[in-house]
A and B are shown apart, each in its own frame.
Chain A
Amino acid sequence: MRFAFTDDQKMLRDTVRDVLQRECGPEVVRSVWEGRPEAAAAVWATLAETGVIGMTASKDAGGLAMSELDSILPFEEIGYAALPGPLVDTIAVGIPLLDAAGTNSQKDQWLESVATGNGKIIVAFEDQAVVPYADSADVLIAERGGAPHCVPMSEVSVVPEPSVDRARQLARIDFEESKAHRMRDDVDGHALLSLAKERATLATAAQLVGLSRRMLDMAVQYAKDREQFGKPIGAQQAVKHRLANALIQQEFARPMVYRAGWSMATSQTTNEIDVSLAKIYAGEAATFVAKQALQVHGAIGYTIECDLHMWMKRAWALAATRGDAAFHRERVGRQVL
């Protein structure tokens, strides 16, 4: 029993953290929010240079063959920065799926270019009414009839739907199925899609932890700076206890997410339930922390001039996507009871 990340894993986290700190400040998120998705292009390129975008690709495909556990901390940092874009779909889900189930021509066309940062994947499972980031993606991997399909975005019709988190650019999508879209039929597509769903959920949970940490950092900083009655509001016990509660929820969610990463990376039989626990705790922590952070900020937090709202809205969206609390609680309940 050793519940800690390795030095290599922490080094990768630090690399991602540094890149995002330098290149993905709130102004970048805000630009994407205001309809300029190209503002995040440079960050994507830098992450690709550092190998993060291609980290889950196999060595044959020029990647680092990193596991679900290795990518947990990078996703947490991506959440912390609220970096917009199909990072989960591309890194955690799309690349491994393309690697495992792509035909030679699909792989030739997409794998290397995506892994090196020159293309983005979005993933749509059958139960999804809308998908994010469709207008900035190059290729779609879609579940249809229980089988994975790989479709160039040029062949996908995209009908935008406005989203509360405007950086997420939601859309309804559709495509005319053709033989060329079918992925390999000599692999168990159904099993690969199931695995892909767990990966998507896990990476989303990791982002939620990062979002939570950032909102708590903002709230703590604000509570130290903002003075009323001649002292920082953070000196008031009511504010202290609110923020202490936020920290407790967040810190008890983290090990659940890390453990799920380990379970996935080592193919434990408890995989699904562990991923569900991760998503439940991370989602509830992030939305709870969001509420506390808003209250601590007071009226300024209730504006879109204050950066907090971008993190809050991302937290609401991610807590509900890739299985919301009700879905995952039911999955846990069926196992436990």
Chain B
Amino acid sequence: MDLDFTADEEAFRKECRAWLEANVPTEALRSGDTREGFRQHIAWENVLFDAGWAAVSWPKRYGGREASLVEWLIFEEEYYRARAPSRVTQNGIFLLAPTLFEFGTDEQKERILRPMARGDVTWAQAWSEPNAGSDLAALTSTARRVEGGWRLTGQKTWSTRATFCDMAYGLFRTDPAQTRHRGLSYFMFPLRTEGVTVRGVDRLDGDEGFAEIFLEDVFVPAADIIGEVDQGWKVAMATTSSERGLTLRSPGRFMATASRLVDLYHRHRDRSDPVLRDQVIQAWMDAQAYRWFTFQTVTRMMQGESIGADSSMNKVFWSEMDVRTHETALALIGELLELDEGAESAVDQGQWMKGFQFALAGPIYAGTNEIQRNIIAERVLGLPRK
């Protein structure tokens, strides 16, 4: 065990910090879940990519730095410490790309990865359907084989930023004779093409971050299936642990939030009482706990272990911690918590209420925490399914 960073890791941190300090926009961007804000965020993604920071752990040929997992965590710590913009390319870089690295053809990787990481082609996930949320295998969208490819029909929903994105990915039934998780295939499909209608849905916080996608006989070339036909479930599930686990929400994000909370506490301590003070301490400690848990996980991964169902523990922990941390912040702010972004009297530009509303989504997305707890009980503890 050596919990010090190596000289190389320290040098990497220094390099990250110096670049971020020099380049992070001083003026906060608008929310990346609004049309105008999305454009601003993409411009930032271009800058990140051109300097080689968009996907540090990727191979160099796709624009990465071949950073180790520990270095990636260091990058994330520095990124959030510098208060750099949220990553609107996230659902491509952290959710689709791991699947492409594992199952994609060389042609797909060459074609897709660099534009994805630069933000030139933006990606939305299209997992849920109106009647297939937690029970994803209940999906009914279909793909019909035609000359040179497939035609997709159906409806997807809760697709983050699909109103602004160029492409999406999701599961479609390619074998109508099969049911549930058999006979599905993993497709990448265009959002700005004939037969596709995207309707934005305003989220809890008022931003148009969600969308419904309606597909009517949308042509997709055969080259845009990932993995084998009818094997989509396996392909999708193989990388769900990256979504639930650390690549979706690395500790740096929560450490930064915790340290902003401590700062808020100092500014509002006249409003505080021993209970609130203790909650601030708890928030700080929990961010530490998540950090060390993650370094332990990453060490296992670097030793070649696969994490699998353990990632469900990450997801429950960070999502519930994030809600608690924001609740504590709002309690410190008091009645001014009601002020929205842009209100002149708002504390910290109303970011805590905004963050709180976003945090409330955490226990729901990427598999609800009820589903995660089932997974933990059945696959980690070995309790019977029925």
Q: Interface residues, chain A, CB within 8 Å of chain B?
A: 1-6, 69, 216, 220, 223-224, 231-232, 234-235, 237, 239-241, 243-245, 247-248, 251-256, 258-259, 262-263, 266, 277, 280-281, 329, 332-333, 336-337
Whether B2 contacts A1 by the Cβ 8 Å rule is yes
A231: B residues at CB distance < 8 A: 384, 386
Smallest CB gap from B374: residue in A: A240
- Say if the beta carbon of B281 comes within 8 Å of chain A: yes
CA distance A178 to B184 in the complex (A): 82
Given contacts A235-B383, A277-B288, contact A247 B376 (CB under 8 A): yes
Least CB distance, B120 to chain A, in whole angstroms: 34
Contact with A along B170-191 (1 / 0, CB 8 A): 0000000000000000000000
- Say if the beta carbon of B94 comes within 8 Å of chain A: no
Least CB distance, B115 to chain A, in whole angstroms: 32
Least CB distance, A260 to chain B, in whole angstroms: 10
A247: B residues at CB distance < 8 A: 313, 376, 380-381
Other-chain contact of A336, B70, B262, B292, B377 (Cβ < 8 Å): B262
- Say if the beta carbon of B43 comes within 8 Å of chain A: no
Whether B293 contacts A4 by the Cβ 8 Å rule is no
Interface 9-mer from B52-60, B78-86, B296-304, B356-364 = B296-304
Given contacts A1-B295, A235-B383, contact A333 B317 (CB under 8 A): no
Smallest CB gap from A237: residue in B: B374
Given contacts A4-B303, A337-B277, contact A252 B290 (CB under 8 A): yes
- Say if the beta carbon of B1 comes within 8 Å of chain A: yes
Smallest CB gap from A219: residue in B: B381
CA distance A253 to B290 in the complex (A): 10
CA distance A231 to B5 in the complex (A): 50
Q: Do most interface residues of chain A lie in helix, strand or loop, or is the interface mixed?
A: helix
Least CB distance, B314 to chain A, in whole angstroms: 9
Whether A258 contacts B296 by the Cβ 8 Å rule is yes
Whether A224 contacts B382 by the Cβ 8 Å rule is yes
Whether B373 contacts A2 by the Cβ 8 Å rule is no
Least CB distance, A226 to chain B, in whole angstroms: 11
CA distance A239 to B381 in the complex (A): 12
Whether B292 contacts A3 by the Cβ 8 Å rule is yes
Least CB distance, A249 to chain B, in whole angstroms: 9
Other-chain contact of A281, B9, B289, B373, B382 (Cβ < 8 Å): B289
A333: B residues at CB distance < 8 A: 277-278, 281
- Say if the beta carbon of B3 comes within 8 Å of chain A: yes
- Say if the beta carbon of B284 comes within 8 Å of chain A: yes
Other-chain contact of B373, A5, A244, A256, A259 (Cβ < 8 Å): A244
Given contacts A255-B289, A255-B292, A277-B285, contact A2 B1 (CB under 8 A): yes
CA distance A152 to B139 in the complex (A): 74
Whether B373 contacts A240 by the Cβ 8 Å rule is yes
Interface centre among B9, B262, B285, B370 (most CB of A within 10 A): B285
Q: Interface residues, chain B, CB within 8 Å of chain A?
A: 1-6, 9, 70, 262, 265-266, 277-278, 280-281, 284-285, 288-290, 292-293, 295-296, 298-300, 303, 313, 316-317, 370, 372-374, 376-378, 380-386
Smallest CB gap from B313: residue in A: A248
CA distance A224 to B278 in the complex (A): 38
Lowest 6 CB-CB distances: which A-B pairs, in order?
A: A240-B377, A244-B376, A234-B383, A244-B373, A255-B292, A3-B299
Interface CB pairs A-B, < 8 A, 30 = A1-B9, A2-B299, A3-B292, A3-B295, A4-B296, A4-B300, A223-B383, A224-B383, A231-B386, A234-B384, A237-B370, A239-B383, A240-B374, A241-B373, A241-B377, A243-B377, A243-B381, A243-B383, A244-B316, A244-B372, A244-B381, A247-B381, A252-B293, A255-B293, A259-B3, A263-B3, A277-B288, A329-B278, A336-B284, A337-B262
CA distance A4 to B3 in the complex (A): 9
Whether A332 contacts B285 by the Cβ 8 Å rule is yes
Least CB distance, A296 to chain B, in whole angstroms: 10
Apart from A1-B298, A223-B383, list 9 A-B contacts with CB within 8 A.
Answer: A1-B3, A220-B381, A224-B384, A232-B383, A240-B374, A240-B383, A244-B316, A256-B288, A336-B281
Whether A4 contacts B374 by the Cβ 8 Å rule is no
CA distance A329 to B281 in the complex (A): 8
Given contacts A224-B384, A235-B386, A259-B3, contact A4 B299 (CB under 8 A): yes
A237: B residues at CB distance < 8 A: 370, 374
B383: A residues at CB distance < 8 A: 220, 223-224, 232, 234-235, 239-240, 243
Smallest CB gap from B288: residue in A: A277
A277: B residues at CB distance < 8 A: 285, 288-289
Least CB distance, B38 to chain A, in whole angstroms: 35
Whether B289 contacts A252 by the Cβ 8 Å rule is yes
Whether B289 contacts A232 by the Cβ 8 Å rule is no
Whether A1 contacts B299 by the Cβ 8 Å rule is yes
Interface centre among A2, A280, A332 (most CB of B within 10 A): A2
CA distance A237 to B377 in the complex (A): 9
Given contacts A220-B383, A241-B373, A281-B289, contact A3 B281 (CB under 8 A): no
CA distance A263 to B316 in the complex (A): 28
CA distance A281 to B290 in the complex (A): 12
Least CB distance, B266 to chain A, in whole angstroms: 8
Other-chain contact of B376, A235, A248, A259 (Cβ < 8 Å): A248
